[in-house]
Amino acid sequence: GAMGGSASLIPRDLLGEYQELTFLSKQEILLAYKRFSELLPKEERENACSARVPKSQILTLPELRANPFQHRICHVFSTSETRDDSMSFEDFLDMLNAFSDSATSDIKSYYAFRIFDFDDDGILDRKDLEKLVNCLTGQGEESRLSSAEMDQLIQNILEESDIDKDGTINLSEFQHVVSRSPDFASSFKIVL
């Protein structure tokens, strides 16, 4: 608009579509749009629906800044063809949708699995689990596990989760574990 201050809103037909395709309310979608367009340079805000926000900007969101899996989250939800982990508004909505309170635990666990699958090969192997544990315990020297502790922990995780005993965790094994831990869904959350 002439005032230059207000971001143009989402076209009404798109808004309806986003409501149907997500667990998000109209208010949440509009707030997401506002937050997304604020990550764009002023001159691109008019076309926020078709713009991409670089990963470096996405990572400035307080909700992601503190998340140990921030880089993986950008990677998993980005549809960028150049694989630069930038996000379109629809990518951003997909991310918020998966992390929303209303998303089913199947959806949450599917995305958690993809986020934890650091090499994107469709299974969680020892390397993925090591990286996962390091992300969760922090990278500082004092918080790092010794290799014996790490081995023990990964053995415990596999004993709990690896139903077919092939040394890795596949999606259905992961979802089975998650279904038995009631606090998983509530911890897998980003609310704007």
DSSP string, 82-149: T-S--EEHHHHHHHHHHTSTTS-HHHHHHHHHHHH-TT-SSSB-HHHHHHHHHHHH-SSGGGPPPHHH
pLDDT digits (tens, 9 = 90+) for 169-192: 999 999 999 888 877 777 788 777
Please tell me whether residue 53 adopts helix, strand or coil conformation. Answer: strand
Report how far residue 11's alpha carbon sits from residue 91's, in angstroms, rounded to the nearest whole number: 17
pLDDT, residue 8, reads 62
Please tell me whether residue 169 adopts helix, strand or coil conformation. Answer: strand
pLDDT digits (tens, 9 = 90+) for 8-56: 688 889 999 999 999 999 999 999 999 999 999 999 998 899 999 999 9
Report how far residue 50's alpha carbon sits from residue 34's, in angstroms, rounded to the nearest whole number: 14
For residue 120, how many other CB atoms are within 10 A of its CB?
A: 10
Note whether 101 and 191 are within 8 A (CB). Answer: yes
pLDDT digits (tens, 9 = 90+) for 125-156: 999 999 999 988 876 777 788 999 999 999 99
Taking 60 as the threshold, does the pLDDT of residue 4 lie above it? no
Q: What is the CA radius of gyration of the chain?
A: 19
Taking 70 as the threshold, does the pLDDT of residue 109 lie above it? yes
Residue type, 128: D
Query: CB-side exposure of 147: number of CA atoms within 13 Å?
Result: 1
- What does pTM read for this prediction? 0.89
pLDDT, residue 2, reads 44
Domains in the chain, ordered, with CATH?
Answer: 12-99 (1.10.238.10), 105-188 (1.10.238.10)
Written as six digits, the tokens of 32 are: 């997401």
Average pLDDT value over all residues in the chain: 91
Taking 80 as the threshold, does the pLDDT of residue 5 lie above it? no
pLDDT, residue 27, reads 95
Written as six digits, the tokens of 141 are: 């020297």
Higher pLDDT, 188 or 71: 71
Taking 50 as the threshold, does the pLDDT of residue 1 lie above it? no
